[in-house]
Amino acid sequence: MNELGKRINKLRIERGMTLVELAGNKMTKGMLSMIENGRANPSMESLKFIARQLGCDPHYLLENHTSDELKYLFSQVEEAFEKNNDEQIINLTKDMLDQQLPTSFESARILEITGRTIFKSDQKKGEMLIERAIAIYEQLSLFSHCVAAKVHIVKNRAKDGNYHDALRLLRSVRKEYHEKATVIDIVVEVEANYVEVVILFGVGDYKAGRSKLNELIELSRRKGIFYKMDDIFRIAAFQALLRNNENDYAYFIKKSEQFAVFSENDESLTFTLLLQAHYHNQISKDYEQALFYLGEFATLVKGELGSDYYYLEKGKALLGKGQVEEALKEFEQFKMPNTTSYPLELSILYTADAYRANCLLQLGRVKEALIYAARAASNIGSLPQTPYRDFIKNTLDLVNKNLQ
């Protein structure tokens, strides 16, 4: 008899209930007996039903009556995680990771959070800790938590460039847990769908990506879920931009902005402003409008501009206005971020070298231009076909032509 079964059995006897009375019309007496004796784990839906019958909270049944010390550690780790304090998480958990932990939600969550943190520096160890957490979630039939943890592993594999491997793993995870669980938490479902959309676009399967994106938008609307809607609509806007569909772009970018404002998510709003600048540099060729949105971005981030998209887009706007030397100064401040993972993002960022080459070419510094144009072409060579790839190729051809 495991801890969950013991707790159900103890409460049932304390309340003077028979197996038949506790099973009601939702379960069989045999299944309930197997659960009490540790030979079967209830689904989350069955667990909630049992808890209602016993008059207790489902979390009480799942708790392994962990020590006050472990519960306190759990609260500290969660707080550090919310504050993105990786150093504190490592310090809090470093002496317990090799211990045998009780089968409880607190143990699993501590392992998962620590695994996510360690993953950033040691992928193998981080993934091992997350898998330990998943094993505990499995024992507690917390399948939504299993999916959420697995999706994190998927995202990290994609960041390593293993897009097809990540996509196969994600689809395998979703199939496995949809067979095990009656219902997966809708927020977890949205996150999994969102990751699949991004990876599909990453491998260049734009048709499947758009189809999945439309499904995701419809799912969110149908369920009345606002989670990640600013990100979802921004991706939709970007896809419309790639297809030169200005009506769809205007609709989706407005929706993304509205959700970012509604959720008071300034970080999301900054991405929307950068995409607006990108649109005017790429499509409308209204460089003054691009500079306007970049000014809005600079105001929102209070001058902390970063070193990537802002300088790339500002350089493009100035180059578009014919201010070549000023544009070159902006491109020279651009630095490739080390957090970017998906091919479409990389494709945009790799154009920085091509734009820099373009400036140098116009200034008569052809040999220097070749260095940057060739580097851009080399970087983007393995990425899917996009207008950015075409631009880089055309730039290299133009520089080579001027060398002849």
Taking the C-alpha atoms of residue 276 and residue 292, their distance in angstroms, rounded to an integer, is 10
How far is it, in rounded angstroms, from Cα 330 to Cα 310? 9
Mean pLDDT of the chain: 87
Task: Report yes or no: 354 and 388 within 8 Å, Cβ to Cβ.
Answer: no
Q: Note the pLDDT tens digit of each residue in 319-358.
A: 999 999 999 999 999 998 876 567 788 889 999 999 999 9
* pLDDT score, position 64: 54
Please tell me the total number of residues recorded for the chain in this structure.
404
Which whole number is the average pLDDT over 287-313?
Answer: 91
> What confidence tier does 57 reach under pLDDT thresholds 50, 70, 90?
low
Q: Which pLDDT band, with edges at 50, 70 and 90, does 86 fall under?
A: very high
Residue 116: per-residue pLDDT: 93
pLDDT tens, position by position, 58-79: 766 766 545 677 788 889 999 9
What pLDDT is recorded for position 368? 95
Give the predicted TM-score (pTM) of the model: 0.71
> Where do the structural domains in the chain lie, given as residue ranges?
3-62, 336-403
Position 164 scores a pLDDT of 86
Fold adopted by 3-62? 434 Repressor (Amino-terminal Domain) (1.10.260)
Res 182: pLDDT? 64
- 79-105 mean pLDDT: 86
- Tens digits of per-residue pLDDT, 353-366? 999 999 999 999 99
Q: Give the whole-angstrom CA distance, residue 287 versus residue 262.
A: 28
**For residue 47, is pLDDT > 70?**
yes
Q: What is the pLDDT of residue 16?
A: 84
Q: How far apart are CA 280 and CA 262, in angstroms?
A: 25
